[in-house]
Structure 1
């Protein structure tokens, strides 16, 4: 050990050792705040790769799943990553929960997007839904994979069009009573559907409501007696002013959609993917989860997470800035 340490301080090796030490220290330092739009390091110091993702809480841990877009991956596979956290701020990389070759001979540049995982407490099964498509977005189906562990590996089962409708961007929602729903955008119907899953979560059982608005990136939360739905306009990779509506039941009727932030900000360059409710001993906080996409450098796409100003039928996304949350109390600090 002594000889190796001394060797670090000869010539160019000194600089390399300093860089290595800094990297180790950085990865070991706990994050104290969530910094919207910045690089978000995991436990190893690497930028989190969980794009278009979703979160499920199992006991004391949150599991964050998303599109793995890091550089140098096998281009014939599609990857879904899994991260674990007890505080929503510091995340441990649990590995790729899914590594999937082309499941249905879709050809080059086939698509796996917006993975969402549900835990079925009756069957003790983790069920992953994702948007499955060909390069031209003509397939428009959901794919399903399952695992008996949260970190996987997940095994591909099948794909289908939910309720025989086209499905592209998907979202997940689990109501306070534990009922699981899939939210999916159907282009021909010019709206997004809220559909109840079967008891085993392996099928889409019935449509609860079709929200008559041409929106994608659907996210839903139930907060103090009202349902809030957020959606993004159909502008591809380009950000737009996300909007919200409310209803006293998932079946509707839903109010007209209103902006969640000043329209000129285009939702601060982001697109909705989920609203996460944290119920603490003192406060209930709803976190807006969104992606800031970089289509030409997708591995560098960022995350915009911010606590929403929500209640009495109103919802507003504040200007992003560093913040922290106490998971036990639900309190937020800026």
Structure 2
């Protein structure tokens, strides 16, 4: 194995240290719970704060202020979609997070009342926090809904004089309410004129680092998004100067950043709590509705089992920024156990890419993201597999195409076996010191499945050693397994494929989008 490197080029650690760090996440949960800290960023694993509690900051927003990174998000420790609290954490190294407090709770005055709705329960999702330099106020935004549906499609705004202070609700509204008639009614609207305004669901708030201007981008309905300039005090939207974005493309979960003078947005498709392919687009002028590029895929076909929530800019000591994708790995059966997928983004001109790393480190002194320096050794190598559909050959599972160009239904490129069980194996060309295997599974939107499987390896292609046993796997879309030892051949054996929605066998949905062996 190779040393780790500072993303994207600087080598930083010895091979021995890299090997040790690759095993960190195998004991991270136990060690963190005992010691109340995380030594690395645990991608897709439970992340503990400095008190030893699982971090509850889902759908989060981030703000760098006064020497600290602040992370605000949904507290789901009660395993419910209903609002419990918006919680705040802080860190100086992105790894060890201290719980600061709850900014909003169900007891906050006005948090669950608006228009004709005066319930005692509601929903607040994807909170975002910004600071207005002119007013000195901290402004907290959220997506608000009644307890019983997602028909209201509101925004809620609260402000405070201090980042960890008492936040007061300023407004709970739909943009353009009282002025704009739209197709989707707001059940909380007190009027009878049908002018209930633009609905707003998944959203983000973005503050331009060059101009100080701020914007809100949200899913207006099931089909399109909308871009709003914020008012000068950041507590309202300028709906009259808003415009639709990605019309009829069914995008949601926006995350926005400014990279090399261009605005970059990452969004997901709509598949409930299940993951799907993230897409990005760019523009040089956020005020120009026609300036956005076409949507292009980033990451694999399920965004490594995550949904985007934020893009963080990390300023390096050398003046060169790095960018961090931040996503949620939702667990709909136990929302409080949902985890976080934070991964470095690579920028190459106008192109954006994202590779998976099961763990990585951050050096706050240099502002450098440090990732394991491993080689992908399986791509394009000879493969053997159980009989396949001719249109979806075994070679599709290591051709370097892990993404999906469809926004619904099936994937666009994958190996499709004739049935289940099936095997797929690759010849790496020579003996390699194996580190891990990442598997991007076929994922049919609306009928997402999980596969029970094992991973074995061989030096000669005849005698096999089992390296990973995932016979009890119930994770859909994307899995990763640590490997060890020197081998030339790697085999995946799938024994069952199950529809996660109903528990039924689903051999018709079996398939591998990409198998990546790292050494």
Structure 1 residues 155 and 290, CA gap change in structure 2 (3 angstroms): same
Q: Is the 8 A contact 1:289 1:303 kept in 2?
A: yes
In structure 1, the residue corresponding to 2:106 is in which secondary structure? strand
The alpha-carbon deviation at position 108 of structure 1 amounts to 6.8
Structure 1 residues 208 and 165, CA gap change in structure 2 (3 angstroms): closer
Gaps of 5+ in 1: 1-21
More helix by share: 1
Q: Is the 8 A contact 1:98 1:152 kept in 2?
A: no
The alpha-carbon deviation at position 124 of structure 1 amounts to 1.4
The alpha-carbon deviation at position 59 of structure 1 amounts to 1.9
In structure 2, the residue corresponding to 1:97 is in which secondary structure? strand
What is the aligned partner in structure 1 of residue 113 from structure 2? 103
Greater CA drift, 291-300 or 220-229:
220-229
The alpha-carbon deviation at position 326 of structure 1 amounts to 2.2
The alpha-carbon deviation at position 327 of structure 1 amounts to 3.1
RMSD: 2.2
Does residue 1:253 correspond to 2:291, yes or no? yes
2:361 is aligned, of 312, 324, 327, to: 324
What is the aligned partner in structure 2 of residue 17 from structure 1? none
Q: Is the 8 A contact 2:227 2:244 kept in 1?
A: yes
In structure 2, C-alpha distance between the alignment counterparts of 1:306 and 1:146, rounded to whole Å: 30
The alpha-carbon deviation at position 185 of structure 1 amounts to 0.8
Does residue 1:200 correspond to 2:209, yes or no? no
In structure 1, C-alpha distance between the alignment counterparts of 2:291 and 2:169, rounded to whole Å: 36
Matches within 5 A, 1:229-268: 229-250=265-286, 251=288, 252-263=290-301, 266-268=302-304
Q: Is the 8 A contact 1:175 1:222 kept in 2?
A: yes
In structure 2, C-alpha distance between the alignment counterparts of 1:239 and 1:299, rounded to whole Å: 17
Structure 1 residues 220 and 209, CA gap change in structure 2 (3 angstroms): farther
In structure 1, C-alpha distance between the alignment counterparts of 2:270 and 2:42, rounded to whole Å: 27
Matches within 5 A, 1:36-75: 36-71=43-78
In structure 2, C-alpha distance between the alignment counterparts of 1:133 and 1:192, rounded to whole Å: 18
In structure 1, the residue corresponding to 2:304 is in which secondary structure? helix
What is the aligned partner in structure 2 of residue 269 from structure 1? 305
In structure 2, C-alpha distance between the alignment counterparts of 1:331 and 1:23, rounded to whole Å: 23
Structure 1 residues 220 and 23, CA gap change in structure 2 (3 angstroms): closer
What is the aligned partner in structure 2 of residue 126 from structure 1? 138
Q: Is the 8 A contact 1:172 1:274 kept in 2?
A: no
Greater CA drift, 318-327 or 88-97:
318-327
Gaps of 5+ in 2: 1-30, 177-196, 372-519
Does residue 1:286 correspond to 2:320, yes or no? no
The alpha-carbon deviation at position 147 of structure 1 amounts to 1.2
What is the aligned partner in structure 2 of residue 94 from structure 1? 100
Structure 1 residues 39 and 72, CA gap change in structure 2 (3 angstroms): closer
Does residue 1:173 correspond to 2:185, yes or no? no
In structure 1, the residue corresponding to 2:333 is in which secondary structure? helix
2:156 is aligned, of 143, 161, 168, to: 143
Alpha-carbon displacement from aligned partner over 1:66-87 (angstroms, at most 9, x marks no partner): 00111399x9863100001112
The alpha-carbon deviation at position 153 of structure 1 amounts to 2.2
Q: Is the 8 A contact 1:192 1:218 kept in 2?
A: no
1:227 is aligned, of 236, 253, 263, to: 263
In structure 2, C-alpha distance between the alignment counterparts of 1:216 and 1:332, rounded to whole Å: 28
2:219 is aligned, of 185, 204, 211, to: 185
What is the aligned partner in structure 2 of residue 8 from structure 1? none
Q: Is the 8 A contact 1:304 1:320 kept in 2?
A: no
Q: Is the 8 A contact 1:278 1:327 kept in 2?
A: no
2:38 is aligned, of 8, 15, 31, to: 31
In structure 2, C-alpha distance between the alignment counterparts of 1:285 and 1:72, rounded to whole Å: 34
Structure 1 residues 319 and 139, CA gap change in structure 2 (3 angstroms): same
Q: Is the 8 A contact 1:63 1:150 kept in 2?
A: no
In structure 2, the residue corresponding to 1:204 is in which secondary structure? coil
- When normalised by structure 2's length, the TM-score is 0.56
